[in-house]
Amino acid sequence: MKITVLSGAGISAESGLKTFRDSNGLWEGHDVMELASPQGWRANPALVLDFYNQRRRQLLEVSPNAAHEALAGLETRHEVDIITQNVDDLHERGGSSKVMHLHGELLKVRCSKFHDDIKLWKKDVNLGDLSKNGHQLRPHIVWFGEDVPLIPKAVEIVSRCEALIIVGTSMQVYPAAGLLNYAPVDLPIFFVDPKPAIASGGRIQVIAETATKGIPTVVDLLN
């Protein structure tokens, strides 16, 4: 069976990663646009680099959880594609082999001018760290106001899957939320959320649990 997983911050939170964005729209006391937009980068690149350096250091201290590992286990019997809004590598470290990061990857950097100049990077990024073209390196993160280049590929994956799992995300952040519009009409959907805003009905089965409890349940149902 072709299974697609749409994942968000909630699955990583159980590994100890902060979700950063508070209910008031602030990240670590800063307006989100200061830390995650081209305008913020131009205004204060040192602040932006420091923010992502802290995130990167924290990521290297945490490990995948039971939800990541259960999704990886699905690959023994199914064809599994994970489309994640997360910028961490916990799906990969948990054992999943096909992971698409819609919003970029924290353990990569890219040239601030030539965006296809990307490299792996696990240490801090500092002002003065330059790409091979002589331009400042920046986080390989899709910021607000920037294109999400992998959306067409994600649409293709969702349109041909046979079951869909949504975990750790309310699917209210666009363009990712629009992916549901491309799912086959008779597709079974499993929605894992400890505080679901929707109820089971029709093709949607809601599992009102955290990711580490709910995903193993879904895996059992699919196997």
Report the catalytic residues.
Answer: 103
Half-sphere exposure of 204 (CA within 13 A, CB side): 14
Q: Are 149 and 202 in contact (CB under 8 A)?
A: no
Instruction: Give the pairing type, strands 2-7 and 163-167.
Output: parallel
Q: Which residues pair with 109 in a beta bridge?
A: 119, 139
